[in-house]
Amino acid sequence: MGKRQFAALPFRVDDSKLRVLLITTRRKRRWSVPKGSLIRNTAPHRTAALEAYEEAGLIGAVAKRALGSFKHRKRKGERKRTMDVSVFPMKVHGQESWWPEKGQRDAIWVSAEKAARLVHKAQLRRLIVRFAAQTDRSASLRPGK
């Protein structure tokens, strides 16, 4: 098995519509989610939260349980490694005005449907679609709906 990474799936709800934040990867400029390797002495979901802060300045609440995972190939010099990336939903409460990787990536808020179309990884696409379906189902079960 390859090395593990942890990612946040940043989301918010605007006018009852689910919105997802995507960022570009630094090297290939593809749309993805904030992710990184486990930070020593830090729980996986907290690592995902810290990556979301470092890469996009996001602040919010991260689920302790992963939504699922996807495979990602990472290049280090001449070597390529397959990473297993666990994805944790993150309800975004705000964004800082400065963060460590500001200016190194682009970021966009889009509908879950558009996010699924934009991301490069098919497994990540399926996770976004499944998360949107679960979110829609739980919203329809709330009183007053």
CATH code for position 63: 3.90.79.10
Decide if 145 is inside a domain: no
Decide if 41 is inside a domain: yes
Could you tell me the pLDDT band of residue 145, with boundaries at 50, 70 and 90? very low
Sign of the CA dihedral with 11 first, then 133, 106, and 81 last: positive
> For the chain, how many structural domains are there in total?
1
pTM of the model: 0.91
Decide if 70 is inside a domain: yes
Domain that residue 51 falls in: 3-140
Q: What pLDDT, on a 0 to 100 scale, did the predictor assign at position 79?
A: 85
Q: Do 29 and 109 meet the contact criterion of CB atoms below 8 Å apart?
A: no
Decide if 80 is inside a domain: yes
| pLDDT, tens only, 27-66 | 899 999 999 999 889 999 999 999 999 999 999 999 999 9
